[in-house]
Amino acid sequence: MKRKLLAASSVACLMLSGAVYAQDMTVGFSQIGSESGWRAAETTVTQQQAKERGIDLKFADAQQKQENQIKAVRGFIAQGVDAILIAPVVATGWDDVLTEAKDAEIPVVLLDRQIDAPDDLYLTAVTSDQVYEGKVAGEWLAKEVGDKDCKVVELQGTTGSSPAINRKKGFEEGIASNPKITIARSQTGDFTRTKGKEVMESFIKAEGGGKDICAVYAHNDDMAVGAIQAIKEAGLKPGTDIKVVSIDAVPDIFLAMEAGEANATVELTPNMAGPAFDALAKFKADGTAPPKWIQTESKLYTQADDPKAVYEAKKGLGY
Amino acid sequence: MIRARNLPFVATVVIFLLAYALCALQFPNMLSFRVAGNLLTDNAFLGIAAVGMTFVILSGGIDLSVGSVIAFTSVFVAVLIRAGVHPALAFALALALSTGFGALMGLTIHALKMPAFVVTLAGMFLARGAAFLISTDSVPISHDFLRTLKGLYISLPDKGRLTFLAMLMLAAFVIGVVLAHRTRFGANVYALGGSSQSAELMGVPLRRTTVQLYAFSGFMAGLAGLAYTLYTSAGYSLATVGVELDAIAAVVVGGTLLTGGAGLVLGTLFGVLIQGLIQMYIVFDGTLSSWWTKIVVGLLLFAFIVLQRLILLASERRAAMRAAHGG
């Protein structure tokens, strides 16, 4: 019985390994986990991008633990993959395992976050520029309001988190060109829908029932969706009476845009792997090293960009 | 003939060897010194913590504070080193602190006649909270002394390494085996796990043994924390959440009776290696969800608890039959 089982499983194994050798590049991907919709979408898009290029992607979910990520990367090295992608859970503690990868001559690309390590230990890092994201949102608003007076309320991300700090800074840079715009109130909504709604309700009460507010800027779409709810409950029309601009470009905000309730969003693209694979392909082909930082596009979407179609394209990605 | 008491241990070793063989059949790369070395290094901190846990479980107790003590030790050491303290001194302080913490928990368990579960649960929150109090950020460390420690390794064929961490874990197991089977303390722990009442009647010093036991577990958790710090070159207060449960799983899968009294320290090593092997397989395969580790460990745990129960029932029946015949 046992022998039969062994024989059967070894046949199955041979079939599996046959499929593996058909492709020309094997890449290991150590993902943090699936803590947010965006993270899940990043995983889906990475797998799609690998498939398009005929890359055999080895995926390891670290369940939010660095020790699991280190284990996975060491496993990839032992396996002899051609390249490794890491979305690092924390910034520290990578020197040893990256040195090991370097000794094995396996290029490493960081996705979505930077780390505290000498930059000769990795090939490149693919991330967005959070300050620039805020700036794109600010510049859109500066153009949109023209020479009318405009009081803006701001829903910040989690206090002290780097996206909250950077997206605030960028937005202020973006609206600086238009002196008519002032930020009247700014408070944290913790990146969540419920807090976004609560804080927006208090803003509306504080600003004469919302009549004085011309726009709301939210550091992410979830808070914007909460704010839209609060605006509607106060008897005002979101998107018309109070303009709504936010960042991330998750599917739900496109539904709001389709309904005319949100005005603009700046995309934090889940496609970090595409540019990484391109850089790796070039590096493997003729040894040209990419720059140490590849900035992803921060694309602006407005109601004119066919939000329904974008929603349809995004909803299957696992957000 | 294998004695029934050792059957779970033998089963663990057989499962591990069989699983490794199956993995190697599918991925020939896995049968290399490099992967074997990784298996030891990557699971060193878990293994060290599991040695302490084995003793606690052998005595019929439990220590839920292990994961938090590891995190506390790593943050404590990292912050001290960042402040300019020599790592050797920081390590000694951390071990003294974690051992003292364990002893205090042991004393509380004995003096207040409280279940170990409750006292160490409080210890878990206390240690985790203290870690956050020291620093909520991940604190990177770098020091020549640490580089020297990491430079201590034995080269194996095909780029494999028996690293300092791997040797530290193996040393912890050797100490564990000697303590369990060659010392008075070890005998007392087994007696305590069999039945604390009869242990007392036999003259086992309950108070001293309980304090020693949890102090030892605290020491091993501290040592695991140092291993973790070396492994990641950083201290992080959110690290190793739930590692105590992995350690308990390793002990039970390693053949130790969860109710205490029977089991082998060496079995725990195989319990740890089985968990590491599953994770390694998932990485090599690259398409499976990493949560399969938990599912497989859960199934193994269940299987072992059933196996232990059956062995216990069988030996009781045999004893009853013998009594009937003898009478």
Domain A25-127+270-288 is of which CATH architecture? 3-Layer(aba) Sandwich (3.40)
Chain B residues within an 8 Å CB radius of A79: 27, 29, 283-284
Chain A residues within an 8 Å CB radius of B47: none
Tell me how many residue pairs between chain A and chain B have CB atoms under 8 A apart. 100
Q: Which of A68, A74, A96 to mutate to test the interface with B (most CBs of B within 10 A)?
A: A74
How far is the C-alpha of B119 from the C-alpha of B104, rounded, in Å? 10
How far is the C-alpha of B196 from the C-alpha of A282, rounded, in Å? 68
Q: Are strands A293-295 and A124-127 parallel, antiparallel or unpaired?
A: parallel
Contact across the interface for A90 and B236, Cβ inside 8 Å: yes
Q: Which of A66, A114, A158 to mutate to test the interface with B (most CBs of B within 10 A)?
A: A66
Chain B residues within an 8 Å CB radius of A92: 138-140, 232-234, 236
Whether B35 has its CB under 8 Å from any CB of chain A: the answer is yes
Contact across the interface for A91 and B45, Cβ inside 8 Å: no
Contact across the interface for A17 and B26, Cβ inside 8 Å: yes
For the segment B200-220, the average pLDDT, to the nearest whole number, is 94
How far is the C-alpha of B137 from the C-alpha of A118, rounded, in Å? 20
Cβ neighbours of B225 (radius 10 Å): 34
The per-residue pLDDT for A17 is 40
Q: Which two tokens stand for residue A112?
A: 């979505």
- Counted residue by residue, chain A has a size of 319
Collapsed DSSP state (helix, strand, coil) of residue A191: coil
pLDDT at B225 over 90: yes
The per-residue pLDDT for B109 is 96
Q: Which long-range contacts (CB under 8 A, 24 or more apart) does A195-198 make?
A: A195/A223, A195/A226, A196/A155, A196/A222, A196/A223, A196/A224, A196/A225, A196/A226, A196/A227, A196/A230, A197/A226, A197/A227, A197/A229, A197/A230, A198/A226, A198/A230
CA B84 to chain centre: 31
Same fold, A25-127+270-288 and A130-268+303-317: yes
Kindly report, residue by residue over B77-93, the tens digit of the pLDDT: 999 999 999 999 999 99
> What are the distances in angstroms from CA A306 to CA A37, A41, A165, A309, B252?
22, 21, 31, 6, 58
Chain B residues within an 8 Å CB radius of A58: 283-287
User: Mind telling me how many Å the CA of B35 is from chain A's nearest CA?
Assistant: 6
Kindly report, residue by residue over B107-130, the tens digit of the pLDDT: 999 999 999 999 999 999 999 999
Q: For domain A130-268+303-317, give the CATH number.
A: 3.40.50.2300
Contact across the interface for A28 and B228, Cβ inside 8 Å: no
Whether B157 has its CB under 8 Å from any CB of chain A: the answer is no
Helices (H), chain B: 7-26, 33-42, 44-58, 66-82, 87-111, 116-134, 144-151, 164-182, 184-194, 196-201, 206-232, 243-253, 265-285, 292-326
User: Mind telling me how many Å the CA of A72 is from chain B's nearest CA?
Assistant: 6
How far is the C-alpha of A221 from the C-alpha of A265, rounded, in Å? 8
Helices B116-134, B66-82: axis angle to 10 degrees equals: 20
ipTM: 0.85
CA-nearest residue of chain B to A27?
B286
How far is the C-alpha of A31 from the C-alpha of B70, rounded, in Å? 24
User: Mind telling me how many Å the CA of B149 is from chain A's nearest CA?
Assistant: 13
The per-residue pLDDT for A134 is 97
> What are the distances in angstroms from CA A65 to CA A39, A90, A121, B290?
15, 9, 21, 12
Whether A177 has its CB under 8 Å from any CB of chain B: the answer is no
Instruction: Catalogue all structural domains in chain B, each as residue range(s) with its CATH number.
Output: 4-326 (1.10.3470)
Q: Which long-range contacts (CB under 8 A, 24 or more apart) does B110-113 make?
A: B110/B206, B110/B207, B110/B210, B110/B211, B111/B207
Kindly report, residue by residue over B241-293, the tens digit of the pLDDT: 999 999 999 999 999 998 888 999 999 999 999 999 999 999 999 888 888 88
Q: Which two tokens stand for residue A101?
A: 């990868």
Whether B289 has its CB under 8 Å from any CB of chain A: the answer is yes
In chain B, pLDDT over 90 holds for what percent of residues? 73
Contact across the interface for A57 and B286, Cβ inside 8 Å: yes
Chain A residues within an 8 Å CB radius of B291: 61, 63
Kindly report, residue by residue over B132-189, the tens digit of the pLDDT: 999 988 888 989 999 899 889 999 988 888 999 999 999 999 999 999 999 999 999 9
> What are the distances in angstroms from CA A243 to CA A14, A148, A265, A308, B115?
59, 13, 11, 19, 59
Question: Which residues fall within 8 angstroms of residue B2, CB to CB, at 6 or more apart?
Answer: B10
The per-residue pLDDT for A248 is 94
In chain A, which residues have pLDDT < 70?
1-23
CB A215 within 8 A of CB A244: yes
Question: Which residues fall within 8 angstroms of residue B125, CB to CB, at 6 or more apart?
Answer: B68
Whether B135 has its CB under 8 Å from any CB of chain A: the answer is no
Contact across the interface for B140 and A76, Cβ inside 8 Å: no
B285 CB burial (10 A radius; 0-12, 13-18, 19+):
middle
Whether B291 has its CB under 8 Å from any CB of chain A: the answer is yes
User: Mind telling me how many Å the CA of A234 is from chain B's nearest CA?
Assistant: 39
Nearest to A28 by CA among A64, A1, A56, A63: A56
How high does pLDDT run on average in chain B?
92
Q: Which of A67, A97, A121 to mutate to test the interface with B (most CBs of B within 10 A)?
A: A67
Contact across the interface for B22 and A16, Cβ inside 8 Å: no
CA-nearest residue of chain A to B38?
A74
| Least confident span in B1-5, B23-27, B140-144, B187-191 | B1-5
Contact across the interface for B232 and A70, Cβ inside 8 Å: yes
The per-residue pLDDT for B238 is 87
Cβ neighbours of B175 (radius 10 Å): 14
The per-residue pLDDT for A23 is 44
For chain A, the structural domain boundaries read 25-127+270-288, 130-268+303-317
Q: Which long-range contacts (CB under 8 A, 24 or more apart) does B255-258 make?
A: B255/B6, B255/B8, B255/B9, B255/B11, B255/B12, B255/B304, B256/B8, B256/B54, B256/B57, B256/B58, B257/B57, B257/B193, B257/B308, B258/B57, B258/B305, B258/B308
Whether B228 has its CB under 8 Å from any CB of chain A: the answer is yes
Kindly report, residue by residue over A199-254, the tens digit of the pLDDT: 999 999 999 899 899 999 999 999 999 999 999 999 999 999 999 999 999 999 99
Collapsed DSSP state (helix, strand, coil) of residue A52: helix
The per-residue pLDDT for A2 is 46
The per-residue pLDDT for B326 is 61
